[in-house]
Chain A
């Protein structure tokens, strides 16, 4: 840490009057000439090393941030202005999503199931869907907007996303009226059934017994080992001819 401070101090000295001047943009051929951008930061005493500025990079412009800042939080932060209905969403879903996810979110092949599974989480074969498992509807909006359709991401308008999310919530019995308008205003009121069933990592408490000063070294179990399961019997390990081609 102290070495870092010294180095940072030296850098500031080197930078001298140019401290805080950043040279933006890349050296790509044809790129516009670099424009020095004044960064209004007074160098702080080296003792406040955490506040040292190198001046590399430039200020991000509001329109740049607006273009990339697509995330949405459960409290609604980040929701864009827009609206949609499940009825409209159904059309979009059939056209854009059903090839993989099925017309009712039941999925085709091994693509993710998006609806159903209520009451299965404590069973031997849980079905984890938006309705049965996901804690927040905001995650559906955020994820569809950033990553779907698979192979054509970030192609949907905000209104399209609202409609598709409304349809998914309708399939999961969260929204009951297919003409109800889902918008940036109504959205934060939507609650999913499983929200309260997530607990923060508690391993240091629930698995406290895994911390042992002296693990057993001799005669730790009685009798000879008995084989209770064999991967070979299940026989799903790739074998001959399944190796990829090496270039």
Chain B
């Protein structure tokens, strides 16, 4: 059964209305208190949200009638009340939706696993809809024997499970010249973190037998962009996977069904979806996605190429512009994510005063190689203006830089690899906005 709904946008009114309802229904904090000049927030806080007919002492409707039975929903959906929790796009960003990006609603998530239906999308010729029976993976070039695999063939190989983040190289790219997108979803949402099931690529390479002069791989997709990237052999033999499952189920079409490559810690453009061909060669191919695109222009007019690794980065997801603070004062949990392509996240620090002073956050949940971690910082908010920042550090000792530190090295036209520290200004009314500060 399908029902069409139009999601709410991101207007301030919608945000505050929703936030208020969540606050009251959620953590059960005492609302009320003195009214300040916060307009919508203050007024909404004066009374608890909800329909009195469903509140005690009344018995609500759902306590009296039967609901759907089992398997009425053979593949479940989120509650209709979570209709705002969706991928969104920024129409002016690209010339067409087929070569574009949609963003993960990070501010609506917790923990570290991104639900499959919310994983950001980035296509260059739309979603290829492959018939798994017609799927073939070709492995050829500098190998002893060129091979052709069906999906069933691939599923017979030994498998491993790995949780990794995939972050678009252009994530936060719109922020290079200043604060531009007033939403965490749009400043940081080109990322997802899921568990992949797949075959270590080295097993397939061993199956074909590498020639002594093998140094590079060309990865190619089966979509109409036939996306290609050159991959150094050492990385292929290290930790790359040929994956066919995400979070247990088969890959979603938008994430490469039935097969994609997982290149842990490296820019997601290299994670070729709908993978159809791997060619082994002795030199990089210098294709469009590693020359015209995914090269990073510096101030002097030269450009970096092969900037594979995604450096340590973090962002506070709550509060953030789409998730304002709806209580005026008191105990407050800051929640966010951190990740590094160079290994494990070692530490995350949080600042309430724009980087003047820092406290070390609590990391809760699994801490894995080249995976997101979830951090929390708790404090008593006295109702004052805040400038929230988070700063990640990884096991190599790399510390997430400020945007200005990055700009000093790279200028303003790099487009990619913006891992600078994000600042959210929280107003006394609890409203949150994307700012830059000095």
Contact = CB atoms under 8 A, between A and B. Distances in A.
A56 B156 CA distance: 7
A67 to B, nearest CB: 10
Contacts of B391: 215
Interface in A195-247: 197-203, 206-207, 209-213, 215-221, 224-232, 234, 236-247
B79 to A, nearest CB: 13
B288 to A, nearest CB: 4
Contacts of A162: none
Contacts of B281: 73, 77
Given A4-B158, A25-B150, A228-B437, A142 B288 contact: yes
B43 interface: no
A80 to B, nearest CB: 15
B286 interface: yes
B99 interface: yes
A215 B399 contact: yes
Contacts of A82: none
A35 interface: no
A176 interface: no
Given A147-B224, A239-B9, A231 B434 contact: yes
B220 A50 contact: no
Contacts of A188: none
Contacts of A218: 357-358
Nearest to B302: A197
Determine chain B's interface SS by DSSP, over half rule. Answer: loop
Interface residues of A, number: 102
A126 interface: yes
Interface in A30-63: 31, 39, 41, 50-54, 56-61
Given A60-B146, A240-B8, A242-B91, A201 B399 contact: no
A226 B438 contact: yes
Interface stretch (B18-26, B58-66, B134-142): B134-142
A150 B436 CA distance: 38
26 contacts: A24-B153, A56-B154, A57-B150, A59-B145, A60-B138, A60-B148, A69-B140, A69-B277, A72-B285, A110-B95, A121-B303, A150-B98, A201-B306, A201-B307, A221-B354, A225-B438, A227-B437, A231-B179, A231-B181, A232-B182, A236-B90, A237-B10, A242-B9, A243-B86, A246-B5, A247-B4
